[in-house]
Amino acid sequence: MAFPIPSGPVRGALKAAGLALGLWLGASLAAAPALAQGQAPLTPEQRKAVTDLVRETILKNPEIIQDALVELERRNTVAQAEAQRGAVASEKARITNPATSIVIGNPDGDVTLVEFMDYNCGFCKRAMQDVTALTKADPKLKVVLKDFPILGPDSVEASRVAIAVKNQLQGQKYFDFHNKLMSAKGRVNGAKALEIAKESGADVERARKEMDAAATKASIEDTVALGDRLGLTGTPAFIIGDEIVFGAVGEAALKQKIESVRKCGKTDCAG
């Protein structure tokens, strides 16, 4: 049975309550070291005194809870980033697998920018302009596009067409098709994608057959599973070096990270 995820404020309240409980338990179990040394445990009166002291301290200094929550969030963020870096390192070959990717820019580039995207994602449409600009300005940049259709059946249909079309259009011709598809107004589905494929010079009948092929479906399934493995929760999501960058962060931010990887092998040379 599934349960709804609490809203932000509710989660915050639950964390605060959990922290207060943790403080209470910590104080109430303060006798543990003493027990380990063979000393007598706290009496009920002593335990009550400790509990009352903790409660009084929290009530008089409620910012303790806020400070603890901030620190908890910081630790969680660090842990998540470390886990994602580990996943990126272990899945590097799968991330750039040509069977489940589209490569544009310089295929032998010295830095690789990977984008997980969805054709019905508004932020992906914005990021498309950044990726296009970076590709034009940086002849040594390799860009890998991963169809990550997470916004419904229309997105899955569009991705199936896009993957089928890659067998006909390569290089700049495919990137032009990709940009037209990403720039389309309204919801993009299979029919719209086939229409744009025809405008781009693709054989539509061949694309219809290949979009239903087992290899096409397997490609999407693999990318979605990979996204789950990497902890991707939305689009666009970029991978530069060993870092995952979420959202349409802008051309300047991506360029800075690309230059850092080129310089020192990391997205932050100062770190």
Residue 35 reports pLDDT greater than 70: no
Output the pLDDT for position 205. 95
List the structure tokens of 189. 């589905």
Mean pLDDT score, 42-63: 85
Q: What is the mean pLDDT of residues 229-257?
A: 95
Of the pLDDT bands very low, low, confident and very high (cuts 50, 70, 90), residue 31 is very low
pTM: 0.73
pLDDT in tens, 122-167: 999 999 999 999 999 999 999 999 999 999 999 999 999 999 999 8
Q: What is the pLDDT of residues 174-230, one digit of tens each?
A: 999 999 999 999 999 999 999 999 999 999 999 999 999 999 999 999 999 999 999
Q: What is the pLDDT of residue 26?
A: 52
19 pLDDT tier (thresholds 50, 70, 90): low
Q: Roughly how many angstroms between the first and final C-alpha of the chain, as a whole number? A: 44
Q: Using alpha carbons, select from 89, 98, 84 the residue that is nearest to residue 237.
A: 84
- The first and second tokens of residue 264, run together, are 């020192």
The answer on pLDDT for 2 being more than 50 is no
Cα 34 to Cα 43: distance, rounded to the nearest angstrom: 13
62 C-beta neighbours (distance < 10 Å), count: 12
pLDDT digits 0-9 by tens, 71-128: 887 787 777 777 777 778 889 999 999 999 999 999 999 999 999 999 999 999 999 9
Q: How far is CA 166 from CA 47, 79, 185, 204, 259, in A?
A: 70, 37, 22, 12, 29
The three-state (H, E, C) secondary structure of 114-167, written as one string: EEEECCCCHHHHHHHHHHHHHHHHCCCEEEEEEECCCCCHHHHHHHHHHHHHCC
pLDDT digits (tens, 9 = 90+) for 63-73: 888 888 888 87
Structure tokens at 56: 């009084």
Distance CA 202, CA 194 (A): 9
Give me the pLDDT at residue 13, please: 44
Question: 150 near 112, Cβ under 8 Å?
Answer: no
CB environment 26-50: b (16+ within 10 A), e (fewer): ebeeebeeeeeeeeeebeeeebeeb
